[in-house]
Amino acid sequence: MSPPSPSPAASPGRVLVAGATGYIGQHVVRELVRRGHPVVAIARPRAGVKGAMDEAATREALAGAEVRFGDVTDPISVRDALVRGERFDAVVSCLASRTGGVQDAWRIEHRANLELLEATRAAGLRQFVLLSAICVQRPKLAFQHAKLAFEQALVDSGVTWSIVRPTAFFKSLSGQVEAVKAGKRFVMFGDGELTACKPISEADLARFIAECLSDPKRQGAILPIGGPGEPITPRTQGELLFELLGRPPRFRRVPVGLMDAIIAVLGAGAHLVPSLADKAEFARIGRYYATESMLVWDEAAGRYDASATPAYGQDTLRDHYARILREGLAGQELGDHAMF
């Protein structure tokens, strides 16, 4: 008797990845290709941090995937150039506004994801995995509201969904590495203990996301996720860096009130000069991360709870810092986020 043919669920499904040229998206493509999924990665003709990648560089970065170029903000391009009426087993969206500006956030995090969901669902999509962020649990910023609006649309869509809400990425904790290495002090708000996070590496997060495709426990679920080990505060980050450099820690404390003053000035200015609206939003984003932890929020207790924040993966911030102190920041660039 011949062995039974594998069920469709057993063979890796065909996946469309959006936001494929981003920090996490590139690793997600690599991970899915490694697992044998046929992958279609969608990108714009100039991609990457500050549009540094042309089409050839993007194809090289996403080797193993079929790369399609188009415009996720244009419904016709989504339909005709990117989805092309084809059926995908799953979409993984790592799309995100590169600036966090108010209009860009709604255009990318909400509208573009919606267009993609609609176009793929019309062609028989089964499953959608969304890369979101843990900070949406206490929304105060435009991009958080845009993310939440799409999360709700996805939950209501009828396709199998997973919403992945990671804590901080390694790149977001690497902005001061070069300056500290060059002899500067580590800058922190207050005493450096106002916030904490459980940072997760891009490779570990990509694995976690890929597993959502096959693990039923990660479907129909909102998934806060952090990396391994104890929660890390800004002060711990500074101490780690100085320890690895073999120098005594030196800190510069910045009062949070300074951010409030900047927000007040830019917010008032934005009423007169609309172009200041995004600058005021960037300052609000900076203040948010200076004062809110990237951990699960316990509503009843009114505090963040590190022990309730699931941990996944092997990569530690210590090893990451050691590597970038040795080899440089390649792949950890913040782009437009560098301003905060």
Ligand X SMILES: NC(=O)c1ccc[n+]([C@@H]2O[C@H](COP(=O)([O-])OP(=O)(O)OC[C@H]3O[C@@H](n4cnc5c(N)ncnc54)[C@H](OP(=O)(O)O)[C@@H]3O)[C@@H](O)[C@H]2O)c1
Q: State the residues that interact with ligand X by CB under 6 A.
A: 19-25, 44, 47-48, 72-73, 94-98, 108, 131, 133, 166, 168-169, 172
CB 312 within 8 A of CB 200: yes
Among left, alpha and beta (phi > 0; psi -120 to 50; other), residue 328 is: left
Angstrom distance (rounded) from CA 141 to CA 282:
9
- Tokens standing for 239? 């101490």
Under DSSP, the state recorded for 224 is E
- Tokens standing for 100? 């966090």
Residue 52 Cβ, how far from ligand X at the closest point, in Å?
9
Residue 75 Cβ, how far from ligand X at the closest point, in Å?
13
Angstrom distance (rounded) from CA 227 to CA 218:
17
Residue 303 Cβ, how far from ligand X at the closest point, in Å?
20
Strand-pair partners of 200: 169
Residue 313 Cβ, how far from ligand X at the closest point, in Å?
14
Angstrom distance (rounded) from CA 49 to CA 77:
22
Q: Quick one: 203 or 216, whose CB is closer to ligand X?
A: 203
Distance of CA 229 to the CA centre of its chain: 20
Residue 18 Cβ, how far from ligand X at the closest point, in Å?
7
Q: Quick one: 54 or 273, whose CB is closer to ligand X?
A: 54
Q: Quick one: 12 or 224, whose CB is closer to ligand X?
A: 224
Q: Which helix (H) or strand (E) holds 130?
A: strand 127-131
Q: Quick one: 168 or 296, whose CB is closer to ligand X?
A: 168
Question: What one-letter code names the amino acid at 185?
Answer: R
Angstrom distance (rounded) from CA 328 to CA 310:
30
Residue 11 Cβ, how far from ligand X at the closest point, in Å?
27
| Closest to 324 in 3D by CA, of 221, 226, 240 | 240
Residues 6+ apart with CB under 8 A from 12: 32, 35, 36, 37, 38, 213
Residue 177 Cβ, how far from ligand X at the closest point, in Å?
15
Residue positions counted in the chain:
340
Q: Which residue is nearest to ligand X, using beta carbons?
A: 22
Angstrom distance (rounded) from CA 165 to CA 336:
22
Residue 224 Cβ, how far from ligand X at the closest point, in Å?
10
Q: Quick one: 94 or 290, whose CB is closer to ligand X?
A: 94
CB 100 within 8 A of CB 141: yes
Q: Quick one: 21 or 127, whose CB is closer to ligand X?
A: 21
Q: Quick one: 61 or 125, whose CB is closer to ligand X?
A: 61
Q: Quick one: 39 or 133, whose CB is closer to ligand X?
A: 133
Question: What one-letter code names the amino acid at 278?
Answer: D
Residue 4 Cβ, how far from ligand X at the closest point, in Å?
40
Q: Quick one: 72 or 196, whose CB is closer to ligand X?
A: 72
